[in-house]
Structure 1
Amino acid sequence: MLVGRDDEFQVLLDGLDRAAEGDGGAFVVTGEAGVGKSRLVREVAQVAAARGLPVLTGRAVAGGAALPFRPLAEAVMGWLRRSGGQDLAELRSIRPALGPLVPEWLPAEPIPGGRSPVVIGEALLRLLRFVGEERGCLLVLEDLHWTDSESLSILEYLADNLATEGLVCLATLRAEEGGAGRNLVDSLVGRRAARAVELARLDDEATLDLARACLSTPALPAAVETFLGAHADGLPFLIEELLAGLVARGALVEHDGHWTTRGPLDRRVPPTFADAVGRRMAALPPYARSVLHAAALLGRRFEWSLLPTVTGLDHAEVVTALRRSVEAQLVTAEDDDFRFRHALTRETVLGDMVAPERADLAGRLLQAVDQAHPDLAGAWCELAADLAEAAGDRTRAARLCLTAGRRAVTAGALATAQETLHRARRLASGDPALAAPIDIALTDALAQSGQVDQAFELGKTLLAGLDAASRHLPVRADLHLRLARAAVAAGRWRVAADHLAAIPDVPADQRAGTAAVVDALGAQVALGQARLGEADRLASAALSVAERNGLPAVACEALEVRGRVARQRDLPAAEAAFARELAVATAHGLQLWRLRALHELGTVDQLRTESVDRLRQARQLAVEVGALALVATLDLQIAAGLVKQFRPEEGLASARDSAGMSRRLRLATLPMALILQSAAYAQLGRTGDMEAGLREALTLAPDDLDVHGSAWGHCRATASLLAENRARALTEMATGARLLQRSPATIAPPFLGLRVLLLAVSDDDDAARAETDRVRESGATRHRVVATLLGYAEAVLLGRTGHHAAATAAFAAADGEMGPLVAWYRQYARRSVAEAALADGWGDPVPWLREAAAYFAARGDQVVAAACRELLRRVGIPVPRPGRGDPRVPAKLRALGVTSREAEVLALLAEGLTNQEVGARLHVSPRTVEKHVAGLLAKTGCRRRAQLAGYSARLSP
């Protein structure tokens, strides 16, 4: 029975009901120890399971060092065990990000941003969505007051993102505890990201109801009612404990279904259950108490097989002692192990020992743990540290905390790493030899967590304490390298250079490798400071040493720097460097460097042709390794390429993907993702949506010159061009160009070149030439579209000055440079150049205009197509009246409003192709195919995709 919790229970059931409708949420059950939080949560979990909802459960445990991600790992791994042989292929993309929770999923190489609690939180959210399928699921996390910092950060992320998911997170927290767990709950409740369900003590009536339920009786002896009223304090756990104590000592007995008392119950019982636990312990034989003492030092859940060695008892005696403890309701048997019935029970047992007794027993337990688990993997290292400290061996405890801290850094649990390493520092006080490696590890943890200033301060203090003795040279070199890499990651180039310069000579057997790493980092610094020649020289030196000494990761870093330097002036050379980086990374299984090389190669493709193929390959690899933040960046670049190709629907989909991930992971890519959404809306003629997106982007990045410049030149100017409002477009492009030219970044949207062309067509020759020089000096002509548009502008200027042959040649050269992926810019350039060529009498403008008019009409850019036809009419060229719809679309489909692309999709569906196969055939994303399928279903009246496959065959010719 669940007693006295009807209202609270209904609140949580309502939460399950709303989750079934897709409106999930987070709830935190709070109350003092023993008030019944776990009981209420267990009841809700049983209801959820009965409804068919998967339930994932994990709990934190008390101890001196919190195990990173402990409750979340228990929940996830518990589900994995229960899932058995279930096909988990769909989880492949998020497994690396969940590595800190499931160690066997940790990737061989660190993932960029993959250790962030936000990234792990997003991956966990996706896992829960997968687990819940269409039903939803329940995640239970108990004892937030003992939970590690990383788990709390992930919980915060989940709570902030459950509103639109059919998922419920249910946690428990001791009300009397402070700390990070309490602070998080207060914050979540304050901003309505979670709801607190507070459990008060039971009133007198509920106390008696619970007691009757415990004893399975309709009536209690009057003496028992009085006794509970005086001593239970309305705490359910204490009510159970007191009743168990009375039964255990024979003061309350059952006969023929009725309970009676034997003797007076007037002995005073304190308002805590500690005495009740103590009395039950006293009733146990001495050997059972010794087993309990040892078990308590091992934790609330303990490995009982260690107890015979420590207590000197044989296995049978230990099992008997545990059975007696279970009967006394001190310990609970769970599957193959045991745990104390309540955390407070364990604490009471620990308090039953005096300090020397506890220290001796802890020392013996430490030896047993070392023997049974010599590698001290996972939680055993933290437990060994607790035992060493309890045994008085502070040096061993500090070394174990150092090991645990280093492991936490590797797992990405940086907050836990810092807590553990700070504890190690306290334990190692007075031991300089141990303090140095602890401080180095702490410096690493601070740097990786973004606390660069603190890392530098600690590193400076540490360096000051290291003398120039040869034994310290490797330590000094390693510390300087770590600090330099932290500075590079933070873009603090001067600081990085100072640390690299301060690296001392190291032993000969380490010298080559260290020199290569130093040169590679130095190349990064020089590149960041725009010293391209030095960057290339250092990268070449690093590459030479790396290749001679078998250092593939250093070689990849050096090749990347060389490629980025070459990209400023020589795209083929840059491509060669990145291709070589890709080959090295692939040959040595360096997935991270392979991903980075593909990313760089995709960037080269964009500069040259706007192809997004290799960027999509990089995106797929980023998904596979769980680099979610990089996925957002790649989606952004893919969206930019698709928008430049004037494929607005696909560009909008990729930009939305980038924006969605950027919101979830709180990335700086969000404003530009919104800009690209707005650019797609501009191409679709949805100016209201365009302006809404621009308002949000500009609000998020009020001082970002690239965002503001793109808003004017890339978005608003495009809408004006499609409306044939050239004057307004030129004004908007001028505003955008001024902003971008003040930016330190190197983005170069096509409007920078298109503006020059329009200035030339508008007879503003001086402005066109001045702007041409400015664009070339900025390096924007690395982007082939920009450079080619300048070529068209040069043709117009030559034609106006009477150099007709040169103008025609310049036009032909530019027209040949425009590849098929940027056909819109090619046709718009033809439309613009033809206007000038007609006025100045050069070239062959009539065919240009005819082709452009047909192109824009087919695309649906009817205003631009009409402008092309009007130019033809001015010179007396007959222009056929534009027809309605695309003649390639069957008449019956045109009557339904089916577009030519939808007709293509329909035809491929008739061949039995999947969305993936249709997308590959049409060079669009599966998501775009899904949208076309949805449009076809709506227009044809078909209810299912399968019906569409036969729809085309039923159409008459």
Structure 2
Amino acid sequence: MRATSSVIVGRDAEIGILDEALESVRRGAGRAVFLVGEAGIGKSRLAGECALRAYDRDMPVLRGRATSTGLVVPFRPLVEALSSRFRAAGAPDDPELDPYRPALAGLVPEWRAAAAAPGYTISLVELAEALLRLLAVLGRERGCVILLEDLHDSDTETIAVVEYVVDNVADLPVLLVGTLRPDPGPASDLALAAELRNTATVAELEPLDEAAVRRMVDACLDARPGEVPPAAHRHLSERAGGNPYLVEVLLADLLDLGRLSRADGGWLLADHGEATVPTGAVRSWARRLGRLDEPVRELLLLAATLGGRFSVGALRAVTGLDDRALFAHLRSASEAGIIAPDGAAHDHYTFRHVLTADALRASLPPAEQAALARRAATAIERSAAELSAEGTGELSGEQSQLVATLRLAAGDKVAASRQFAQVGRQMLDAGASGSAAVLLERARGLAADGERDDVTVQLAIAQAESGRLTAASVLLDDLPPVLAGSRAAEERAQAHTQVAWVATMAEQQEEARRRIRAARGLLGSSPRPEQEAALVVVEGHLALLPEQEDRGGPGRLAGRERLKEAERSARHAALTAEQRGRPVVACQAWQLLALLSRQRGFDEADACLVRMLEVAEKHRLAVSRAEALVRLGTNAFMRTGEATQLETARAAAHELGSLAVLQTVDGLLAMQSVLGGRWDRAREIVERSVEASARLQNLSAHRYLLLVDATLAAHQGRAREQERALGRFRRAGGEESMLVPLQRGLCQAMGALMAEDRQRATAELDAALAWEREHPSFFYLSGRYGLRPLLRILEGGDGKGQGDAAGPGDGGRAAYEEALASPGGQLAWNRMFLGMADAVLRGRDGDAEGARRAVEEAGRAATVFPQAWHLALRLTAEAALADSWGDPVAWLRTAEEYFHEAGVQPVAGACRAVLRQAGVSVPQRRGGRERIPAELRTAGVTPREYEVFVLLMERPGNQQIAQRLCISPRTVEKHMASLMTKTGCVDRAALCALSAERAEEARGAPPAAARAAAT
């Protein structure tokens, strides 16, 4: 007989916590709650109660449970949770989720078609961010709840994803509820750490007191208070220890034995003596098994040997039963309340509680337990061999883990170690490095002496790729010495190389160098070419990073020689890797070469990237293909200022499903939008990606996005916002990165110019150049190749600036000629400034026509950079006025109009001041200027003059205009004269015709019609 309580007792405080969290989530403030307690204490009941209360609030609920079999199955609770929602409701069709579908495809079967391209493994943080976005979309209207039970049994990957969600859920309408036991382990560490960080609430479930046990027993028996004998209450309270599950188990035992029975007016407890009373759950379940049919009893013991959750296939293989008999026994066990179908998988069953399986196993003597485990392992291996077409007997990852667990239970540690190691290597190859580390750690602890070192090498790689570089280093350093050049040495050298690559990407330079030294020591003096190529690629990427041990850098000469050597080695490595069948290394080498060869021109850099793209496409390396497209798009953007190829690269990254690559492209697109004056679009991209890149731990993209944010504020003349953004950039380590030249030149120098502080701008540009002289730098938009030469020429250039190779009084020509001869001088952004510098030099030499042509050439390069072009006009106009060339008045009026509309008042004011100094009338900034067409505003037409101009289309007399505008006829005459001067009209009739033409254009009629009407 089953005895279960229909109500929850003794958990008012915990229910209050969940209720408060649900209300918080409905208001859009996310929460995380962990329910912690021993097995059977009531965690799942509380989780179920939370689900019911969420349903009452019309909230979506997702519910998943970790496996209790001891098998490491990546993301099982998450897969089950998403399936529980989408199996019936279907996956949401929301455009916001489009970039995240490839990452989620492994968890949501409905999105398998959107899986990442072959050759790309979704990172843990990418998956966690995708899950976070999915939950936010589900909870957009009323909030949503995700319940994850038995986290203590979860795989490492699930724990990492849960930690990410917990740390980032505060501003989203999502409630995460996790249940776990207080046993030491990753789940317990996560809950405690989250509580210390105030990112989660931890509710520890205590045993029920006697009063709560009484209420629970009454609820189980549907009895009124006082109907159940006090002796029965004492019996259950003492033996269950306040554990609700054990209360139910022991109560069911009393009912089955007939010790507790219903009588007229209440319940009776028969006294049969303590000797016949079970003293715990183990004896209780042993007694209950004894009352079942023999086939059912044997089936349950074998099922318990397989764990708290078992598959029908495994049980069929172990028992040898046909389906009819097997399902008949399973049905009997289900009706007895011992097992139940697993809702997450149609071919699996679970024991009603994990304690049930433990108790059943414990009811057998150790020798019999071992014999059952041995029998089960052999049967599963035999079944796999029979099903294999080749008879190889290959097991799936889950089957291998189960067999390993059974072999261990049977006492065969060596066989268990080999199985764990095999599955660990498979998971490492599939990218599940955290789960791989767990399994390889188990294998290492069980391995025979001759096999332990091989497992340790694989474990070190798994630890490094899952972000635990220190643990990986300790493992590699503790390995016993081997003969250089031996097979074991080569395997270890490969591990050191892989760990070095991870360390380089994490910018841990010293650790990367230690690993490279160790690898070279193991390979000896003559490594094979492909081994040398892999090492050279890592060393080449290290050469690009600013030296950590010497903040001043390696010095100008040493830095140049280091890069030359890196380039020579990388080119040889690329060719070698291609010939030796190492396409990943080849792509990494061509990518490195593309960056290093920029110093000779972007054609050569693009050729390297095209080669990288060809290798990637030939070998179906999706990640390398996307990265090649991103870098080709970046070069095209730098050359022309256009973003067409970057958009193509973004589409490839989206198809790939790589959030990290997407964020890299987004940063570049945001910078292109800043330079192109599309500030709203730049802001939208930054706001969308900057926090996500931080959560993703995509440090390079995050730093770049922060710099874009600061650059955006600088170009808009918002000094306070610029400093706040730069503060975040510095805290992210930006001033120890390769972005310093851009920070100084593209951001801070431009910010100074927006404040009309030319001296500070020059100082920032000089600082950027000084940094570039001492460090490897491949950013050509820092001002060195465009803006800085222009400013030096405008100030007369004494030739003493840092890096200028000229003598005193050269007028800034040396900086100009150096920039013009470099690849950086061919980029559209720089050509614009260099063209204006050329114009100033020609005007200074008396070549007015040459200066005019230079301005026209610069204007063609500046088509996509409106703000920078107007800044260049403002900067150049003073020189043109002084040397009497060009059209400086028109330039200043155009620039003044632009910067006034952009809200950059210091520059607009400076333009007006220069105009006044030149003796030109400057219109007052009255209301209504926004109504004046741009052409007339640029010509200097004032709001009052425009009012007169609009009336002229009707050809009124001066007296009529004066009456309609309430001004004197003499004032009208002055406005008419000014309008003819500013518009170039020769007489009043032409001015009236122009007014009529503009009116017709505003209404959409062709200009010719307006001219005909005017005549």
Alignment of 1:862-877 (within 5 A): 863-877=906-920
1:885 aligns with 2:930: yes
CA distance in 2, matches of 1:457, 1:178: 23
Aligned to 1:762, which of 776, 785, 795? Answer: 795
Alignment-derived partner of residue 940 in structure 2: none
Change (3 A) 1:195 1:628: same
Change (3 A) 1:18 1:739: same
Change (3 A) 1:291 1:579: same
Change (3 A) 1:668 1:516: closer
Change (3 A) 1:185 1:705: closer
Change (3 A) 1:745 1:497: farther
1:722 aligns with 2:731: no
Partner SS, residue 123 of structure 2? coil
Change (3 A) 1:202 1:819: same
What is the CA distance between 1:98 and its match in structure 2? 3.5
CA distance in 2, matches of 1:808, 1:635: 38
What is the CA distance between 1:344 and its match in structure 2? 1.4
Range moving further from structure 2, 157-166 or 766-775: 766-775
Alignment-derived partner of residue 103 in structure 2: 97
Alignment-derived partner of residue 824 in structure 1: 867
Contact 1:366 1:388 survives alignment (8 Å): yes
What is the CA distance between 1:299 and its match in structure 2? 1.1
1:366 aligns with 2:411: no
Q: Write out per-residue CA displacement over residues 513-548 of structure 1, whole angstroms, 9 at most, x where no aligned residue.
A: 778767766766777786555555555555556666
Alignment-derived partner of residue 163 in structure 2: 156
Contact 2:606 2:632 survives alignment (8 Å): yes
Range moving further from structure 2, 43-52 or 776-785: 776-785
Partner SS, residue 667 of structure 2? helix
CA distance in 1, matches of 2:489, 2:759: 67
Q: Write out per-residue CA displacement over residues 32-54 of structure 1, whole angstroms, 9 at most, x where no aligned residue.
A: 32221111111111222343322
Alignment-derived partner of residue 296 in structure 1: 304
CA distance in 2, matches of 1:720, 1:527: 29
Alignment of 1:745-784 (within 5 A): 745-752=777-784, 753-767=786-800, 771=804, 776=818, 781=825, 784=828
What is the CA distance between 1:167 and its match in structure 2? 0.9
- Return the letter of the residue paired with 2:192: D
Alignment-derived partner of residue 354 in structure 1: 365
Root mean square deviation, CA, Å: 4.0
Change (3 A) 1:258 1:643: same
1:201 aligns with 2:207: yes
Aligned to 2:438, which of 419, 433, 438? Answer: 419
Aligned to 1:178, which of 169, 173, 184? Answer: 184
Alignment-derived partner of residue 455 in structure 2: 438
Contact 1:791 1:814 survives alignment (8 Å): yes
Aligned to 2:606, which of 572, 575, 593? Answer: 575
Change (3 A) 1:31 1:478: closer
Q: Write out per-residue CA displacement over residues 732-771 of structure 1, whole angstroms, 9 at most, x where no aligned residue.
A: 5556665666655444545554344334323443346965
Aligned to 1:789, which of 826, 830, 833? Answer: 833
Alignment-derived partner of residue 376 in structure 1: 395
Alignment-derived partner of residue 905 in structure 1: none
TM-score (normalised: structure 1): 0.82
Structure 2 unmatched ranges of 5 or more: 1-6, 385-392, 546-558, 805-811, 937-1001, 1006-1015
For the pair shown, the structure with the greater C-alpha radius of gyration is: 2
Partner SS, residue 340 of structure 2? strand
Structure 1 unmatched ranges of 5 or more: 892-953
Contact 1:705 1:739 survives alignment (8 Å): no
**% of aligned pairs identical?**
34
- Return the letter of the residue paired with 1:406: R
1:622 aligns with 2:653: yes
Contact 2:140 2:173 survives alignment (8 Å): no
Contact 1:24 1:166 survives alignment (8 Å): yes
Aligned to 1:655, which of 659, 668, 686? Answer: 686
Change (3 A) 1:608 1:501: farther
1:332 aligns with 2:375: no
Contact 1:97 1:123 survives alignment (8 Å): yes
1:392 aligns with 2:423: no
Change (3 A) 1:92 1:845: closer
Partner SS, residue 116 of structure 2? coil
Alignment of 1:484-883 (within 5 A): 485-486=501-502, 489=505, 492=512, 495-496=515-516, 499=519, 503=523, 531-541=562-572, 553=584, 556-586=587-617, 589-669=620-700, 670-701=702-733, 704=736, 714-715=746-747, 717-727=749-759, 729-730=761-762, 744-752=776-784, 753-767=786-800, 771=804, 776=818, 781=825, 784-786=828-830, 788-793=832-837, 795-797=839-841, 799-800=843-844, 802=845, 804=847, 808=851, 811-812=854-855, 815=858, 818-857=861-900, 859=902, 861=904, 863-877=906-920
1:144 aligns with 2:151: yes
CA distance in 2, matches of 1:700, 1:524: 21
Partner SS, residue 27 of structure 1? strand
Alignment-derived partner of residue 901 in structure 1: none
What is the CA distance between 1:595 and its match in structure 2? 0.9
Contact 2:660 2:693 survives alignment (8 Å): yes
Contact 1:480 1:503 survives alignment (8 Å): no
Alignment of 1:250-261 (within 5 A): 250-254=258-262, 259-261=267-269
Alignment-derived partner of residue 32 in structure 1: 38
Change (3 A) 1:766 1:310: closer
Change (3 A) 1:214 1:679: same
Contact 2:485 2:522 survives alignment (8 Å): no
What is the CA distance between 1:238 and its match in structure 2? 1.5
Q: Write out per-residue CA displacement over residues 29-76 of structure 1, whole angstroms, 9 at most, x where no aligned residue.
A: 122322211111111112223433222222223345533333223223
Change (3 A) 1:863 1:836: same
Partner SS, residue 821 of structure 1? coil
What is the CA distance between 1:13 and its match in structure 2? 1.7
Contact 2:859 2:869 survives alignment (8 Å): no
CA distance in 2, matches of 1:782, 1:211: 85
Change (3 A) 1:166 1:271: farther
Alignment-derived partner of residue 421 in structure 2: 402
Contact 2:745 2:782 survives alignment (8 Å): no
Alignment-derived partner of residue 307 in structure 1: 315
Change (3 A) 1:564 1:782: farther
Contact 1:3 1:209 survives alignment (8 Å): yes
Partner SS, residue 63 of structure 2? strand
Alignment of 1:264-279 (within 5 A): 264=272, 266=274, 272-279=280-287
Partner SS, residue 422 of structure 1? helix
Q: Write out per-residue CA displacement over residues 63-103 of structure 1, whole angstroms, 9 at most, x where no aligned residue.
A: 45533333223223443433458758864522333466469
Partner SS, residue 99 of structure 2? coil
TM-score (normalised: structure 2): 0.78
1:81 aligns with 2:87: yes
Q: Write out per-residue CA displacement over residues 911-946 of structure 1, whole angstroms, 9 at most, x where no aligned residue.
A: xxxxxxxxxxxxxxxxxxxxxxxxxxxxxxxxxxxx
Aligned to 2:254, which of 241, 246, 261? Answer: 246
What is the CA distance between 1:487 and its match in structure 2? 6.1
Q: Write out per-residue CA displacement over residues 878-915 of structure 1, whole angstroms, 9 at most, x where no aligned residue.
A: 56666610545999xxxxxxxxxxxxxxxxxxxxxxxx
Change (3 A) 1:521 1:48: same
Alignment-derived partner of residue 938 in structure 1: none
Change (3 A) 1:698 1:453: closer
Contact 2:877 2:888 survives alignment (8 Å): yes
1:449 aligns with 2:466: yes
CA distance in 2, matches of 1:705, 1:544: 30
Change (3 A) 1:562 1:749: closer
Contact 1:330 1:340 survives alignment (8 Å): yes
